[in-house]
Amino acid sequence: MAQFDTIQTAEASSTSPAANTVTVSFGAAVAGNLLVAGFTRSQSVTWGADPSGWTAITGVPDAAGGSMASKWFYKIAAGGETTVTMTTTETGVTFRGVMAEFEGPFAASPLDVTAEDETNISTPVTSQTSGTTATTAQASELAVAFFGADRADTVTDGHAYSNSFTEVHFASTTSSTSRAMAALAKKVLSATGTQQCTFSTTDTGDDMYGAIATFKAAAGGGGLSIPVAMSTYKRHRPA
């Protein structure tokens, strides 16, 4: 595997619309790799405690009053992690999580620049920006964009990402009990600059949230890791 390759992805949704907890399960993570997890709920929420050992990136604030809410996190794997859990105080609507593991090595403090856009958390739209970051600190970084939507069945058809971002995982079960959407996309950077990604759809559109973060590679990074065993999560060939 090469640096910044997607090692695995996974998703989960609440077992019923009344649930206030979602746990994403995945294959054992490899030490030094980057884990990113995002969560979307189909209403304004008060978030529970951040997942233990994970760092919040951006998110819709508690009780912001929108029709949906999203929040996302990252962690440099210690090795062996297999779950990430998020809770809210509210019940009664759907809740979805998505995660991805990316090949390291990353800098000891990898998070560089971030941006987000909460403009449309109560406004149905067919395109959603991540916001635009400040200039990255170094050339070798991984940019990851996160998008959430109230209803997956209104943003799935014809969805795409701008500025050479490629889809990592689109969590989109469209049944009435699993309707929230959460998606991750990535871009490998080789020069400093600002970063932005727009999610668009030819579907009818819905309330959405977008965010972006860049993560610094370790100096002189590279190398191989041993793939984890196949399980119920989604694995990827090198990207």
Question: Is pLDDT of 236 > 60?
Answer: no
Question: Is pLDDT of 46 > 50?
Answer: yes
- Measure Cα distances from 53 to 2, 37, 74, 187, 210 in Å: 26, 12, 9, 25, 23
Distance (Å, rounded) from C-alpha 13 to C-alpha 22?
A: 6
Mean pLDDT of 36-51: 93
Instruction: Pick the range with the lowest mean pLDDT from 8-22, 77-91, 222-236.
Output: 222-236
Q: Phi then psi for 107, rounded to 5 degrees?
A: -60, 160
Q: pLDDT: is 172 or 109 the higher one? A: 109
88-100 per-position pLDDT tens digit: 988 877 889 999 9
Question: Is pLDDT of 178 > 70?
Answer: no
- Best mean pLDDT range from 2-16, 39-53, 136-150: 136-150
Confidence of residue 231 (pLDDT cuts 50, 70, 90): very low
